Amino acid sequence: MAAEPVWSVDPRTGKPREQVAVEATAEDVDRSVRAAHAVRETLADRSVRAAFLRTAADLLDGAREQIVETADAETALGPVRLTGELARTTAQLRAFADVVEEGSFLDIRIDLPDPGAIPPRPDMRRWKIPLGVVAVYAASNFPLAFSVPGGDTASALAAGCPVVIKAHPDHPATSELCASLLRRAAAEAGLPEDVVVLVHGFDAGVELVRHPLVAAAGFTGSVRGGRALFDAAAARPVPIPFHGELGSLNPVVLTSAAIEERAEEIGAGLAGSMTLGAGQFCTKPGFVLAPSGEAGDRFLDALALGVSETGPAVLLDRRMRDAFVAGVTERTALDGVRAPVAPGAGDAHTVSAGVLAVDAALLAEGDRHHLLLEECFGPVTVVARYDSRDEITQVLSRLPGNLTATLHVATEGEEDADAAPLLAELTPLAGRVLVNGWPTGVAVAPAQHHGGPYPATTSTSTSVGATAIERWLRPFTYQSTPDHLLPPELRDGNPLGLPRR
């Protein structure tokens, strides 16, 4: 049977642009994984890894015009957004090069022998070593920062792990272009090109997570797809870590004092955040608890005005457009749901942003409106109007895990009495809580945590920031090992000058 072609499709028209590859067979996946596995030791030198990451960043920056043009043709995200995303992607690669050189990610701990301790303590030297080949599943909504040259790839390579990347079908030409630049960077840094390998196809993604030489996987995508791969990773004869980012509602709570103080400002800010990138950010605020009453009405009016002023949006592909239209139609049909701005279909290729409103009491009393507490990917948010503090608690108790939660409190006059208790209630629901801000925009920084309780992620790790490297490492201890047999990082005298405890 001939391999299935992989087409690049223009989401603005739905028409194929070009065939860019063919789907990988099981044999192709096996060859790819074995090729990556065979060169894993070449990544052992940290200075070479750092040079590779910086070279990759330079080559991507050098091909900026071609990358942005190709990605825009496949995603309709626009040159401004994609130029910024590319800058984020290359900055991320350079940041991990710095992490590799600095060395604290190795978490070196040395206990010198103490025969007088109870029990006696031998010489023990602990650090972290790479797991092996990492499977990376590219995301649809970030064709650069969370795809082929994105954070999972950068952090895995920084850890010393070769990667086999499953391209996303929404941007195969962008994936091929970026993979070719990463492979070229490897060669220029003196590494085999097969430290980065790209495969296409749904079946290839399944084969990849099941391959016995794959040691871990990173995924960004839907709950359904991520959970299927997570279950496959756990069902292997030798289970592997699966770090999946699956979905997030990203709730927002507005205190009465905050709305009294700046209703219009908060409404306008929310409109900008929830429609950014056509609502296709994983941190889009999709659910809001806002007070009833006159001030709450002013907030809702400002939100509705901001959303109504956004034009029709092209989503990443036809499947996502159809799912959005079906999702908002089903939600709008629920009893008690109002549509201050009706979301739905635009023309044959676009959608219209919208706002749905409902009384919080309906969400607190049962499961009839459970859909409103689930993510709807695209430019829509649900505003639940509460009458009492107890209703906030009742609704929050029904929410799943999230990447983010946002709290808006009063900033002037006396301290907002609801601020501290609501912050405490939101903490168990998310990996990151923002106060008086908006969650769309994930800084690449050492203190960043982009993860959260399930179904936001399948692990406690982050996929953004310096500590994302920890996903691809495991602790290892040498005990009573002669100094000349130890790796230089652990030898007496600290010859490499690394941070050590």
Catalytic residue among 74, 245, 375, 391: 245
Q: Based on the residue annotation, tell me whether 282 is a catalytic residue of this protein.
A: yes
Mind listing the pLDDT tens digit for each residue in 21-33? 999 999 999 999 9
For residue 197, the one-letter residue type is: V
What is this structure's pTM?
Answer: 0.95
- Please identify, in words, the CATH class of the domain defined by 251-435: alpha beta
pLDDT for the residue 414: 83
The residue with tokens 């080559």 is 59
The residue with tokens 């091909």 is 63
Domains 22-102+130-246+457-474 and 251-435 share a fold: no
Contact residues for 169 (Cβ-Cβ < 8 A; gap 6+): 6, 200, 202, 317
Sequence spans of domains, the chain: 22-102+130-246+457-474, 251-435
pLDDT for the residue 2: 63
* Intervals of the chain under pLDDT 50: none
Cβ neighbours of 163 (radius 10 Å): 24
Q: Are strands 344-345 and 351-352 parallel, antiparallel or unpaired?
A: antiparallel
Pick the CATH number of 22-102+130-246+457-474 from 3.40.640.10, 3.40.50.720, 3.40.605.10, 2.40.37.20: 3.40.605.10
Mind listing the pLDDT tens digit for each residue in 149-183? 999 999 999 999 999 999 999 999 999 999 999 99
pLDDT for the residue 160: 98
Catalytic residue among 176, 178, 207, 282: 282
Q: Based on the residue annotation, tell me whether 161 is a catalytic residue of this protein.
A: no
Q: Are strands 196-199 and 163-166 parallel, antiparallel or unpaired?
A: parallel
Residues 391 and 364 sit within 8 Å (Cβ to Cβ) = yes
For the CA atoms of 210, 214, 218, 223, what is the dihedral angle to 10 degrees? 10
